[in-house]
């Protein structure tokens, strides 16, 4: 195991940022900490790095107890959310910093430093920018400098706090792909914090979904997306419709409309809320066995998928996603009455409110 976190708790005054968190990250693994702001994901990253001490619990890195070790002894590469580049130093000096501040006995010679820094800059494709200052770089370039600087100290692992948070959408996508390739090349254990589910699902080997200082679910992107462990994960990952319902025998009643369900949804009579992803609802012109009636309220057809807002007879609203082809085929218009079939319904135990 590369990184092990055992039962870590951290409080800020009255606010519990982390509560009994345990996590294991394998060598070379890429893990995303995903959650809304205030969920504790950044705090967990800072506890692992040593920037923040835990109130209780342990941090073990490569089998070595690190709980009470200083930040500088943990050898972590940390990429700050706003990069924290030294603004008065050139790109070259920024990357060289970690080597230059070593004690005399460990410090490489100037020629070695130069060689190493230029290698790193080549790696992040900034070798032509070595003499520039951070203020003269674009956001994406700064991010890459921050990464090169973190890599310069040959860290045990890479910790990235919202690595793409400060970038615009297009640069984000490019960088994401680039970072993935770079990571595959280096094979370094890394943990990154993000609040963007798309980013987490695309980049990580495993995703840790956090909420209110607790871990809600740990799993591969597929597991997390297709089998959300609970209501929170289900709602946090992607769009989802939720309906109030009532269970009677074989049927789920959404408002007054009874929809027959098959056993595979695993619902029982205690549930009164169900979740359905927009692409798991299907619209048709003719009633089918499990269908329920709805009225089309809005149509957003700009984009790869068409999103249709429907109102179920119970008065609840939901959105449905369908392909452009299917949309043309059905020739839907605002205000029309249609039939809807749910292909997949999710419900969670303990969700018995209302």
Partner 1 sequence: MAGATGLRKRAANQVARASVTEPPLVRGILTAIALIFLVVFLILPITVIVAGALAKGVQFYFQALTEPVALAAARLTLLVAVITVPLNVLFGLAAAWALAKFDFVGKKFLTTLIDLPFSVSPVISGLIYVLVFGAQGVLGPWLQAHDIKIVFALPGIVLATVFVTSPFVARELIPLMQAQGNEEENAAIILGASGWQTFWRVTLPNIKWGLLYGVILCTARAMGEFGAVSVVSGHIRGLTNTLPLHVEILYNEYSFTAAFAVSSLLMMLAFVTLALKHFIEWQHSRETNLTAES
Partner 2 sequence: MKFKRHSVIPGFGFTLGFTLTYLSLIVLIPLSLLFLKATTLGWEHFWHTVVSARVLASLRLSFGTALASALVNAVFGLLVAWVLVRYDFPGKKIVDALVDLPFALPTAVAGIALTTLYAPHGWMGRLLAGLGIKAAFTPLGITLALIFIGLPFVVRTVEPILQDFEKEIEEAAFSLGANRWQTFCKVILPAILPALLTGCAMAFSRAVGEYGSVVFIAGNMPLKTEIAPLLIMTKLEQYDYAGATAIAGVMLVISFLLLFATHLFQAWTRQYERV
Site string (70-89) toward partner 1, x via CB under 8 A: -xx---x-x-x-x-xxxxxx
Only segment of 120-128, 136-144, 169-177, 296-304 that touches partner 1 (CB under 8 A): 136-144
Among 63, 70, 111, 269, binds partner 2 (CB under 8 A): 70
Q: Mask of contacts with partner 1, 52-71, x by CB under 8 A?
A: -------------------x
Determine if 92 is a binding residue for partner 1 (CB under 8 A). no
Query: How many residues line the site for partner 1 (CB under 8 A)?
Result: 28
76 touches, from partner 2, partner 1, none (C-beta below 5 to 8 Å by class): partner 1
- Binding flags for partner 2, 9-28, as an x/- string (CB under 8 A): ----x---------------
Residue choice 1, 26, 71, 298 for contact with partner 2 (CB under 8 A) = 71
Angle between helices 110-123 and 91-100 (to 10 degrees): 130
For residue 131, state whether it binds partner 1 (rule: CB under 8 A). no
Residue 40 found at the interface with partner 2 (CB under 8 A): no
Closest approach, Cβ 344 to partner 1, in A, equals: 45
Q: Pick the piece of the chain touching partner 2 (CB under 8 A) from 36-44, 46-54, 138-146, 212-220.
A: 46-54
Q: Which is nearer to partner 1, 156 or 257 (CB)?
A: 156
Give yes or no for residue 101 binding partner 2 (CB under 8 A): no
CB closer to partner 1, 40 vs 134: 134
Site residues (vs partner 2, CB under 8 A):
13, 50-53, 70-71
């Amino acid at each position: 195991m590369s990184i092990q976190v055992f039962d870590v708790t951290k409080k800020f005054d009255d606010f519990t940022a982390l509560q009994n968190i345990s996590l294991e990250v394998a060598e070379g693994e890429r893990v995303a900490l995903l959650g809304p702001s205030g969920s504790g994901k950044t705090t967990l990253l800072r506890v692992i790095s040593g920037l923040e001490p835990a109130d209780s619990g342990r941090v073990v890195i490569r089998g070595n107890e690190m709980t009470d070790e200083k930040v500088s002894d943990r050898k972590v590469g940390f990429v700050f959310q706003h990069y924290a580049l030294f603004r008065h130093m050139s790109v070259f000096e920024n990357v060289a910093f970690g080597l230059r501040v070593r004690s005399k006995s460990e410090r490489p010679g100037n020629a070695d430093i130069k060689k190493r820094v230029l290698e790193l800059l080549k790696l992040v494709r900034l070798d032509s920018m070595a003499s520039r200052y951070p203020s003269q770089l674009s956001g994406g370039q700064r991010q890459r400098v921050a990464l090169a600087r973190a890599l310069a100290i040959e860290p045990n692992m890479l910790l990235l706090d919202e690595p793409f948070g400060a970038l615009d959408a297009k640069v984000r996508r490019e960088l994401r792909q680039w970072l993935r390739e770079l990571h595959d090349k280096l094979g370094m254990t890394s943990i990154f914090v993000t609040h963007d589910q798309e980013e987490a699902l695309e980049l990580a080997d495993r995703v840790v979904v956090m909420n209110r200082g607790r871990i809600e679910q740990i799993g591969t992107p597929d597991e997390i997306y297709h089998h959300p462990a609970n209501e929170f994960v289900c709602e946090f990952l992607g769009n989802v419709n939720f309906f109030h319902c009532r269970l009677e025998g074989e049927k789920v009643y959404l408002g007054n409309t009874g929809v027959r369900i098959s056993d595979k949804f695993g619902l029982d009579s205690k549930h009164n809320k169900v979740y359905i992803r927009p692409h798991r609802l299907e619209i048709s012109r003719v009633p089918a066995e499990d269908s329920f009636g709805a009225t089309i309220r809005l149509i957003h057809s700009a984009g790869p998928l068409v999103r249709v807002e429907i109102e179920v007879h119970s008065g609840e609203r939901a959105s449905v996603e369908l392909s452009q082809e299917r949309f043309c085929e059905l020739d839907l218009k605002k205000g029309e009455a249609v039939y809807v079939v749910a292909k997949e319904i999710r419900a969670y135990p303990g969700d018995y409110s209302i």
